[in-house]
A and B are shown apart, each in its own frame.
Chain A
Amino acid sequence: MPRARRSRQAQRRGTSRGLTLVAGLVFLYLLLPILIVIPVSFSSGSYLGFPPPGFSLRWYHNFFGRADWLGAASLSLWIGGAVMVLSTALGTPAAIALVRSNFPGRNLLVGFIISPLIAPVIIVAIGLYFFYARLGLVGNPFALVIAHTCLAVPFVVINVSAALQGFDERLEHAAMNLGATPWRTFWQVTFPIIRPGILAGALFAFISSFDELVVALFVSGSTAVTLPRKMWDSIRFEIDPTIAAVSTILIVLASAIFLSAELLRRRSERLRSAAPLPEPSAKEALPDGATVI
């Protein structure tokens, strides 16, 4: 019997070691592409060999020295900024309404609002392309803002909804009982508590637009060339390491945004758990991992 148990333990250790090995290899697979692009971007060679023959910043010079690359980057920045503002303005009140109320068809509505996340982007892209083509708006940056907002708004709705879960509504009741208008109650009570969630949603909305290619491919025409669109054209014609330099910049930007959003998410959880009034029934109603919306 002791021997049998020992062999089982050994077997279990073997299993967990095997599991760790496999998981480690998968992590390597997940990170490898990012870890390769960064050194290639600093290569002094003009082809994509590995390891790079030497260190240089020539591809970054190439990016920052060329008007077409910079123009594309600044267009993407302002489109992303506009999308961020528009989708936050539309998504925040919608999330509040969806979390706080229950009406027939609510779940269907939630499904509709988050469907742009799952629907094949190519379908949305050609639908919008035909739509804008008829209106003569292909190549208009505002058309891209409007289109990207549809794809970005689910991120705002999901993040604001998450921030509202477990929010103690009695804080608002107290404010209104003391004579605050609903508008003032929102800005002085609700907004400060859900602000991390709103900011996280806004950041995700920005990056989703900043990285978006498929819609831009159809809608940007030849006059509203965004950064991903410029990269796409460039990849198809020459794959010199300039794109590796752009990719590195994008990886750094995405990581910064992702880490900020993650910190905001933790802050939002802290804010909620620091709610001053204990409310056992509401806590029970929303166990960890309850549905997001």
Chain B
Amino acid sequence: MAGAAKRVRRASRPRLTHPALVLPLLAYLAAFYAYPVAAMMFRSIAEPHWTLDNFRKIVETPVFLYVLWLTFRIAFVVTIAALLLGFPVAYLLARIDRTKSNLLMMLVLLPFWTSILVRTYAWMVLLGREGIVNQFLLWIGATDAPIRLLNTTFAVYVAMVHILLPFMILPLYSVIRGIDGNLMRAAEGLGATPLGVFRQIVLPLSLPGIAAGCLLVFILALGFFITPALVGGPRDLMIAVLIQQQVELFNWPFASALAVLLLASALLAFAAIAKRLGLEEAIGRAAR
């Protein structure tokens, strides 16, 4: 980083800012964010007394293991689907000129800024018995009677991929945008087929974006609550929904143990990528 050079150059000058300006925010987050979350996690081993029983209960109860497995399976399928749908869009956006891509990017960001609850509700409208999807299927004659789409695992996939797609497209876009177009032109000039150019140039060079996008989507999908609770069926119990149910049943230490597992999974996935270029930038781009 050239920041070092800047530092040296400016070291002797008077500075408007001081690192201590970060302290009010730090104190605030420590008191109202880190402490409550830490205290909650502590509860999982300290209540009703020092014990690992809460975790043992998760491991020994088939239903809870099933929920864990299901959560990972849904997050995995959603990640792959988002990658398959997001890559063509990111690639197209990165290959057209900036004016056009900025305009089309609005189409990605606009749903992104619409509330998750609104978008989930929209899928309830779309996938309902009288919804447009069923109307369309009836019209083309694919089915004789409305089929049950809402409150199925399929609905969870459709709505979750929809909500998480922008998190895949944004990091992919910024990485593919950075690939030197001359490489592809050179490969084409040397006789590579479009598929060959994709396999040997585009794919390897966009791996950092793929990694960042997949992990971002995977982590966010693991903790999804609103969407599976509203469009999923009774069997589509993801871990966040289970946590909420346990809190309502006043099984607070057990809910905390589930939360610890969820956080540990998210942190593991995060640690695998945090060092890589792209994630911070991707989150930054998505947030402004």
Binding site for B on A (CB under 8 A): 8, 11-12, 15, 19-20, 22-23, 26-27, 29-34, 36-37, 40, 47-50, 90-91, 93-94, 96-98, 100-103, 109-114, 116-124, 126-131, 146-147, 149-150, 153-155, 157-159, 161-162, 169, 172-173, 176-177, 182, 185-186, 190, 200-201, 204, 207, 211, 213-214, 217-218, 228, 231-232, 235-236, 239, 243-244, 247, 250-251, 254-255, 257-258, 261-262, 265, 281-282, 284-286, 289, 291-293
Contact of B26 among A109, A190, A228 (CB under 8 A): A109
Query: 0/1 per residue, B263-284, Cβ < 8 Å to A?
Result: 1001000100010010011011
Quick one: closest A residue to B165, CB to CB? A30
A118–B266 touching, CB < 8 Å: yes
Report Cα–Cα, A247/B17, bound state, in Å: 43
Quick one: closest A residue to B192, CB to CB? A8
A153–B37 touching, CB < 8 Å: no
Contact of B92 among A20, A124, A126, A243 (CB under 8 A): A20
B86–A128 touching, CB < 8 Å: no
Flag whether B201 is at the interface (Cβ < 8 A): no
Contact of B29 among A129, A150, A155, A176 (CB under 8 A): A150
Query: Min CB distance, B184 to chain A, in Å?
Result: 10
B111–A31 touching, CB < 8 Å: yes
A126–B21 touching, CB < 8 Å: no
A94–B26 touching, CB < 8 Å: yes
Binding site for A on B (CB under 8 A): 1-3, 5-7, 9-10, 13-22, 24-26, 28-29, 32-41, 43, 85-86, 88-89, 91-93, 104, 106-111, 113-119, 121-126, 128, 130-132, 135, 162, 165-166, 174, 177-178, 188, 191, 193-195, 216, 219-220, 222-223, 225-226, 230, 240, 243-244, 247, 252, 255-256, 259, 262-263, 266, 270, 274, 277, 280-281, 283-285, 287-288
Q: Mind listing 6 A-B residue pairs with CB under 8 Å?
A: A20-B92, A40-B125, A110-B280, A119-B37, A213-B117, A291-B281
Contact of B21 among A50, A97, A130, A147 (CB under 8 A): A97
Contacts of B40 in A (CB 8 A): 123, 126-127, 130-131
Nearest first, the 8 closest Cβ-Cβ pairs linking A and B are: A120-B223, A292-B284, A33-B122, A211-B115, A131-B36, A285-B2, A97-B21, A127-B37
Known: A30-B162, A101-B17. A261 touches B121 (CB 8 A): no
Report Cα–Cα, A251/B262, bound state, in Å: 31
Majority secondary structure of chain B interface residues (helix, strand, loop or mixed): helix
Q: A113-B26, A118-B220, A120-B266 are in contact. List 16 more A-B contacts (CB 8 A).
A: A11-B193, A19-B91, A26-B89, A36-B126, A48-B130, A49-B131, A97-B21, A112-B34, A122-B243, A147-B32, A235-B117, A257-B113, A258-B110, A281-B6, A291-B281, A293-B284
Contacts of B216 in A (CB 8 A): 118
B14–A176 touching, CB < 8 Å: yes
Contacts of B108 in A (CB 8 A): 27, 30
Number of A-B contacts (CB under 8 A): 306
B16–A182 touching, CB < 8 Å: yes
Contacts of B255 in A (CB 8 A): 126
A22–B88 touching, CB < 8 Å: yes
A97–B18 touching, CB < 8 Å: yes
Contacts of A91 in B (CB 8 A): 25
Query: Min CB distance, A121 to chain B, in Å?
Result: 7
B32–A130 touching, CB < 8 Å: no
Known: A94-B26, A158-B287. A33 touches B111 (CB 8 A): yes
Contacts of B226 in A (CB 8 A): 213-214, 232
Contacts of A172 in B (CB 8 A): 16
Report Cα–Cα, A251/B112, bound state, in Å: 11
A255–B17 touching, CB < 8 Å: no
B283–A117 touching, CB < 8 Å: yes
A96–B89 touching, CB < 8 Å: no
Contacts of A257 in B (CB 8 A): 113
Known: A258-B110, A289-B281, A293-B280. A93 touches B21 (CB 8 A): yes
Query: Min CB distance, A196 to chain B, in Å?
Result: 11
Quick one: closest B residue to A290, CB to CB? B281
Report Cα–Cα, A247/B92, bound state, in Å: 31
Contacts of B37 in A (CB 8 A): 119, 123-124, 127
Query: Min CB distance, B21 to chain A, in Å?
Result: 4
Report Cα–Cα, A4/B67, bound state, in Å: 55
Report Cα–Cα, A157/B287, bound state, in Å: 10
Contact of A231 among B119, B121, B256, B277 (CB under 8 A): B121
B24–A19 touching, CB < 8 Å: no
Contacts of A130 in B (CB 8 A): 36, 39-40, 43, 252, 256
Contacts of A94 in B (CB 8 A): 21-22, 24-26
Report Cα–Cα, A281/B277, bound state, in Å: 23
Quick one: closest B residue to A175, CB to CB? B16
A158–B284 touching, CB < 8 Å: yes
A153–B29 touching, CB < 8 Å: yes
Known: A29-B162, A128-B36, A185-B16. A284 touches B2 (CB 8 A): yes
Contacts of A50 in B (CB 8 A): 125, 130-132, 135
Contacts of B256 in A (CB 8 A): 126, 130
Report Cα–Cα, A281/B111, bound state, in Å: 39
Known: A31-B107, A113-B25. A239 touches B124 (CB 8 A): yes
